[in-house]
Amino acid sequence: MPRRMGYDRWLFVTAGLLVLGGILMVGSASHYFAMSSGMSPWHFFARHVVYVVLGSAALVAAMRFPYRRLDDARFALGSAAACVLALVAVLAMPAAGGARRWFPLGIASVQPSEVAKLALILFLAYVLSRREEKVHETLAVPLPCLALTGLMAALVAIEPDLGSAVMLCAICGTMLFVAGLRWSWIGAAAGVAFVGAVVAVLAEPYRIQRIRTFWNPTEDLQGSGFQLWQSLIAVGSGGLTGTGLGQGRQKALFLPAAHTDFIFSVVGEELGLLGTGLLLLAFSILFWRGMRAAMRAPDRFGFYLVLGTTALLTLQGFIHMGVCLGLLPTKGLPLPFVSWGGSSLIASMVGMGWILNVSQYSN
C-alpha cells in the first residue's frame, strides 16, 4: 500500500497562480469586446470570477474524492456514454456564433465537449490500466479506444469545434503511444491522419488558404491571415515588458475572441516577454510535475489518469500558444486556467484536482 503523502505543491501553486492571473487577463481582454457588444464592460470578468469559485470547489472535490473509486465501469463507461449522448443532443441546440457547442442554461451555458475530454481520459485510463499487456491486440485495446475517440471527435467536429476534436485525438494518441502501441500502428495512424488532413484540405478550398496564410500570414492580411497577423502584431508590439495591463489595443476587435482563443496574445501585448515567458514556464512546470506525478502513481489507473489529464492540460496550453504565435494553424482553443469560459475552466480544474489527488499517493 502506497504511503499517503501531501499533494504536489508545485502543481497546486502553479495552477492557482494561473487561475488568479487569468482573472486579470480575462477582465482586461474582454473589456472592450463587452462594451462594443452592448454589454457591461465587466460582463465576462464577473462571470469568470464566479466560474473560478465554482472551479475551485470542483478542484477540491476532485482532489478529495478517492480516485480509485473512479476506476469503475459505471464511471468510465457511464460518463463516456453520457457524453456521447450529450454531444449528440447539443447538435440540436440553437447555434451561437455559428456553432452548436453549448447547452444554454439560463444565465450560463455548458459545453459538453469540455466534459467529454475528461470522460475520454477516464475511459482510456480504465481500459489501458486493465489491458496494458494487450495493447497490441486490435480488438482488446486499439479498437474500443479509437472507436470512442473517433465518435466523440466526429461529433465535436460537426459542432464545429475542430480544436477540441484535435485535442480528443491528441489525448487518445498520447495515452496509446505511452501505453506502448506498436510503431506500425503509430505509423498507420499517422498515415491515416495525414491522408485525412489532405482530404479535408482539398475538400474545402478555404482550408488551403488557411495553410497558405499559416506559412505566410502577410499574404492575405484581411482574410484568413488577418487573425494570425493581428496576433503576431499583438505579441510583437508587447516587447519585453508589454504595454501594461489593460493598455493593449489589439484586443479592441483586432484579435478575434481575445478573452478566449487569443488570450495568450493579449498577455504578450500587455505584459510582454515577461508575461508570455512566465506562462510558458508555468505550463512547463505543470507538464514536469504532472508527468512526475504520473510516474509515481501507485497504480496503473492513476498513472493513465494523470498522464491523460496532464497531456490534456499542457498540450492544450502549448497548442494555444503555438496558434497565437503562428507556429500552428489557427484552431480555436482556450488556454487552460486562464481563458474565459466556464466549462473549460471548471473541467481544467477538475482535471488538476485528479492530478493533485493522485500526487498524494506517490509510491
Partner 1 sequence: METTVRGRVALFALGVAVLAAAIGARLLQLQVFRADELAAKAARQHEQMIDIGGGRGAILDREGRELAVSVATSSLFAHPQRVQDRPRAARLLARVLEMPESKILEKLRSEAPFVWIRRRLDPQTAKAVEALPLPVGPGKPFGFETEGKRFYPQGALAVQVVGFANIDQEGVEGIEKVFDETLRGDAAKYLAVRDGRGGMVLQLAKAPSKTPEDVVLTLDLALQHIVERELDVAFRESGARSAAAILLDPATGHVLALANRPTADPNRYGEAKPEQKRDRAVVDQYEPGSTFKVITAAAALETGTVTPERLFDCQNGAIQIAGHRIRDHHPYGTLSVRQILEESSNVGMIKVGRTISPARFDEYVRRFGFGARTGIELPGEQQGMVTPLRRWSALTGASLSIGQEVAVTALQLASAIATVANDGVRVPPRIVLGTRDSSGSLRPLPGPEPERVISTATARTLRGILEGVVARGTGRKAAVPGYRIGGKTGTAQKVDARGGYSHSQFVASFAGFGPAENPRLAGIVVLDSPAGGVYYGGQVAAPVFGRILADALACLRVAPDECAPIPAEAEPSGSAKRRPETLLARKDEEQTAADDAPVATGPGQVPDVRGLSLREAVVALADRNYGARVEGSGVVLAQAPPPGAAVAAGVVCSIRLGAPPEPPARSAAEGRSSRAIPRGRKG
Q: Contact positions toward partner 1, by CB under 8 A?
A: 32, 36, 132, 174, 177-180, 221-223, 226, 230, 232-240, 249-250, 252-255, 268-269, 272-273, 276-277, 280, 283-284, 287, 291, 294-295, 303, 307, 311, 314-315, 318, 321-322, 325-327
> Least Å distance between CB 280 and partner 1?
6
Is 178 within 8 Å of 189 (Cβ atoms)? no
C-alpha cell read off for 81: 456514454
> Least Å distance between CB 338 and partner 1?
15
Cα distances (Å, whole numbers) of residue 355 to 178, 253, 279, 344: 17, 37, 19, 17
> Least Å distance between CB 252 and partner 1?
4
Identify which of residues 80 and 168 has a Cβ nearer to partner 1 in the complex.
168
Convert the chain into a string of H (helix), E (strand) and C (coil).
Answer: CCCCCCCCHHHHHHHHHHHHHHHHHHHHHHHHHHHHCCCCCCHHHHHHHHHHHHHHHHHHHHHHCCHHHHCCHHHHHHHHHHHHHHHHHHCCCCCECCECCCEEECCEEECHHHHHHHHHHHHHHHHHHHHHHHCCCCCCCHHHHHHHHHHHHHHHHHCCCHHHHHHHHHHHHHHHHHHCCCHHHHHHHHHHHHHHHHHHHHHCHHHHHHHHHHHCHHHHCCCCHHHHHHHHHHHHHHCCCCCCCCCCCCCCCCCCCCCCCCHHHHHHHHHHHHHHHHHHHHHHHHHHHHHHHHHCCCCHHHHHHHHHHHHHHHHHHHHHHHHHCCCCCCCCCCCCCCCCCHHHHHHHHHHHHHHHHHHCCCC
Identify which of residues 142 and 326 has a Cβ nearer to partner 1 in the complex.
326
Identify which of residues 87 and 261 has a Cβ nearer to partner 1 in the complex.
261
Task: Name residue 145's amino acid.
Answer: C
Alpha carbon distance 220, 209 (integer Å): 9
> Least Å distance between CB 264 and partner 1?
10
> Least Å distance between CB 315 and partner 1?
7
Identify which of residues 254 and 301 has a Cβ nearer to partner 1 in the complex.
254
> Least Å distance between CB 21 and partner 1?
17
Identify which of residues 155 and 297 has a Cβ nearer to partner 1 in the complex.
297
C-alpha cell read off for 51: 466560474
Identify which of residues 66 and 180 has a Cβ nearer to partner 1 in the complex.
180
C-alpha cell read off for 106: 439560463
Cα distances (Å, whole numbers) of residue 45 to 54, 235, 328: 14, 22, 28
Identify which of residues 3 and 74 has a Cβ nearer to partner 1 in the complex.
3
> Least Å distance between CB 178 and partner 1?
4
> Least Å distance between CB 204 and partner 1?
16
Identify which of residues 108 and 219 has a Cβ nearer to partner 1 in the complex.
219
> Least Å distance between CB 141 and partner 1?
14
Identify which of residues 165 and 181 has a Cβ nearer to partner 1 in the complex.
181
